[in-house]
Amino acid sequence: MDVQEALRTRKSIRGYKPDRVPKEIISRVLAIATRAPSSLNTQPWQITVIAGKVLDEIRRENMRALNEGMMSTEEIIRTSFEGIYRKRQVDLAIQLFQLMGIGREDKEKRNQWTMRGFRYFDAPAAIILSLDKSMNSTLTLCDIGILCQNICLAALEFGLGTCIEDQGILFPDNLRKLAGIPEFSRPIMCLAIGYPDWEYPANKLVTPRETLDNNTKWYGFE
Ligand SMILES: Cc1cc2nc3c(=O)[nH]c(=O)nc-3n(C[C@H](O)[C@H](O)[C@H](O)COP(=O)(O)O)c2cc1C
């Protein structure tokens, strides 16, 4: 698969086949993905790959925390969006709910949908990307973002789908308790990874993008 095709075809996968992904395959994905550039080549990412019983246990703990209405800890920075950004967020929810047959007023189904995210979309594996708490800068957040995309693209070569998601790290203490993430690390982002179930309705979504004319300014090209 060439780079253009990978960039065009990558999309968030929110429904997976139950098939397990061999450790060797994920290892190959990570080996190539960690060719990612990073600020000053610090390679600040700490990578935790979780599957099997451990992942099931984390899913259960996340569900429990959600049901108990436990707020995520203060280490998570999350703000609400406004204006066009809010509109795009709402549009995404409308598109996903339409595909999934979830009615606007159907609180129960909407809750179920939210829970899927906290269950890593029931993927057979999840990758948690953490930073040492001392590596707290816009540079390192950018490094994690680049690695995320590299993982998504590298995964395609192996027939794997991914969904970058922050829902999976919103209860960081569950990850510390069950996946050995140390106290001095902060989970920043995670990815669900597995073989896509192409029959799963949400996987049919192709999200729109703004045209370059609306978000790019050019100078000196006349
Ligand atoms: C930093 C980041 C966090 C995300 N968090 C979530 C999430 O928690 N739940 C989810 O369903 N999708 C999440 N997504 C996926 C986005 O919704 C998705 O990338 C966007 O709608 C564009 O769609 P596409 O990935 O299919 O191109 C996240 C994506 C990024 C880059």
Domain positions in the chain? 3-70+118-202
pTM beyond 0.95, yes or no: yes
Q: What is the pLDDT of residue 124?
A: 98
Share of the chain above pLDDT 70, in %: 98
Q: Whose CA is nearest to atom 9 of ligand 1?
A: 165
Q: What is the pLDDT of residue 104?
A: 86
Q: Assess if CATH 3.40.109.10 describes domain 3-70+118-202.
A: yes
222 C-alpha to center of ligand 1: Å?
36
Cα dihedral value 68, 73, 77, 80, nearest 10: 30
Atom of ligand 1 nearest to the CA of 163: 15
Mutate to test the pocket of ligand 1, among 166, 188, 189 (most ligand atoms within 8 A of CB): 166
Q: Whose CA is nearest to atom 4 of ligand 1?
A: 165
Q: What is the pLDDT of residue 74?
A: 66
Q: What is the pLDDT of residue 78?
A: 73
Gyration radius (Cα) of the chain, Å: 18
Examine the pLDDT at 85 and tell me if it is beyond 80: yes
C-alpha distances in angstroms, 34 versus 13, 38, 184?
21, 9, 22
Burial 178-197 (b: 16+ CB within 10 A, else e): bbebeeebbbbbbbbbbbbb
98 C-alpha to center of ligand 1: Å?
17
Atom of ligand 1 nearest to the CA of 206: 26
